[in-house]
Structure 1
Amino acid sequence: MADKTTMQVTIVASDHPVWSGTASSVTVPASEGAMGILPNHESVLAVIRNGRVVVADVNGSRHAFDVEDGFVSFDSNKLTVAVEHCSDEVSAD
């Protein structure tokens, strides 16, 4: 279970689950520009444009995924990223 310094993250594409776990931060390509989400962020529902989602997990590792068309929802320290298409994990650099 996530504590106050972490959040549960689920990334799904239309045809398969992509990544799920506990994270300390996530950056998403929102339609109005890049959006960083930290634990205890206010509730958010936003459209995602094509770009890269980067997850910093609780072990300090970074996971990156190229995504197309979708949305992000955050509430009660649970982040869901739902997209039409998503690449396999790519280099986070």
Structure 2
Amino acid sequence: MAEAKNVLTVSIVTPDGPVYTNENCSLAVVQTQSGDLGIMANHIPVIAALQIAPAEFKNQDGQSDTIAVNGGFVEFSNNELTIVADSAERKDQIDVDRANSAKERAQREIEEANSKHDADTMKRAEVELRRALNRINVANQR
């Protein structure tokens, strides 16, 4: 059981299904709407909305995983951390060329929306840009 080993069980799910599972996590770090949140075993229960940002998971053996999480929320209780995300990708599954294309497309949309003073399109394009940058940043981490 997770409590006996003093570790977290982590799972990330999206509408498309499970993305990541880790039963040997010693530290999870996520970016919430209120700021960074670090969670270790026996942390108090928490539910928080997530930013578009990387989520990092460190194992007891020193290995770490970084996942590009694009919004959603995190819930933690009884040493089980669950992230329900709009979308999420493991570092090794990110198509960098596709992410760069999405970035360029979003930048063009922002320029067009700005010239037309279209606030709704601007907001959507800014979210698309943040998602693309998140994916690129996670893919380029060593």
Q: TM-score, normalised by structure 2?
A: 0.60
For residues 14 and 33 of structure 1, the distance between their equivalents in structure 2, rounded to whole angstroms, comes to: 25
Match of 2:47 among 45, 48, 55: 45
- Percent of residue pairs identical: 30
Read off the aligned partner of 1:64 and give its amino acid letter. T
Hey, what does 2:73 align to over in structure 1? Answer: 71
Structure 1: tracts of 5 or more residues without a match: none
* C-alpha distance after superposition, 1:47-81 (max 9, x if no partner): 00100100012322100011111000000111101
Higher helix share: 2
Number of corresponding residues? 93
Structure 2: tracts of 5 or more residues without a match: 92-137
* C-alpha distance after superposition, 1:11-69 (max 9, x if no partner): 11221211112200100111111110010000000000100100012322100011111
For residues 51 and 62 of structure 2, the distance between their equivalents in structure 1, rounded to whole angstroms, comes to: 26
Higher strand share: 1
Structure with the bigger RCO (C-alpha within 8 Å, sep 6+) is 1
CA contact (8 A) 2:20 2:90 kept: no
Bigger CA radius of gyration:
2
